[in-house]
Structure 1
Amino acid sequence: MKKFLRFISTLLLIAFVVYIYARYVETNLLMVHYINVKDSRISSSDKDLKILQFSDMHISEYFDEKDIKKVAEKINGENPDIVVFTGDLLDEYSSYEGKDNIDGISKILGSIKAPMGKYAIYGNHDYGGGAEYAYKK
């Protein structure tokens, strides 16, 4: 019985640590990686082309407008020429309680500056349930 209780206690502790990490640490991580691409098919010019790619925002009750503003500010601080968003804007649009504020989210994302354009594709969490509306905004 002692081994069983120790096992259950260990499982509960692991679950608690994973929850704390996912809720409070992961949602505040914003990592930037720089990759230089050189290819003979890309014309050389005096100015480098800066392409910024980001994805998997999974907007939900755990990642809200305050967090989106931080992302937009970070992106604008990088001064990209082109911005590419590669999906999973919302976690579950159909059950997202803040969906009445999609216009506010769109306004924040619309504040991202990219002189050569901003491009986006749907992710697997974006299909169905109405999330397509957020992309159109």
Structure 2
Amino acid sequence: MAAGSRVDSLRDARRSLLEARQVADAARHGRRDRTVFRLPHVGLAGLLHLLRDEPRLQTFVERELGGLLAYDARHPKERLLGTLRAYLDSGRNKSAAAAAAHLSRPALYERLSRIERILDADLDAVDTCMSLHVALLALDAIRD
């Protein structure tokens, strides 16, 4: 169930109803830990789900992850996108990422180095990792 923001006038009720519909749509594709969802509960993943058909979001994903998606298509056994996801989902903790990806730490380091070369990106830079993480969330929303 989704709820819009509280309103004080009938004139604002339409906006709240539209918000509730968008929240319901976003919540369907996200977390399942609540009975009632409001706008703050759907977070970034919910926002990206709502924007999934936006061409600029699709362009952003392609710009950020295109090289890695192409690499994985040519080398399906390596799945570097999954390695990147494990690294970013673990908060850039390499030990946790290696465990989540079922890799040794040296194997993880080698894959992260390859990802950096493919994307021409510095995975030690917070802003780069934030952008890549948003692109991964957007990719999930687009593929949903």
What band does the TM-score fall into relative to the shorter chain? under 0.3
Scaled by the length of structure 1, the TM-score of the pair is 0.28
Q: Say which one has the larger Rg.
A: 1
Please state which structure has a larger fraction of its residues in strand: 1
Scaled by the length of structure 2, the TM-score of the pair is 0.27
Please state which structure has a larger fraction of its residues in helix: 2
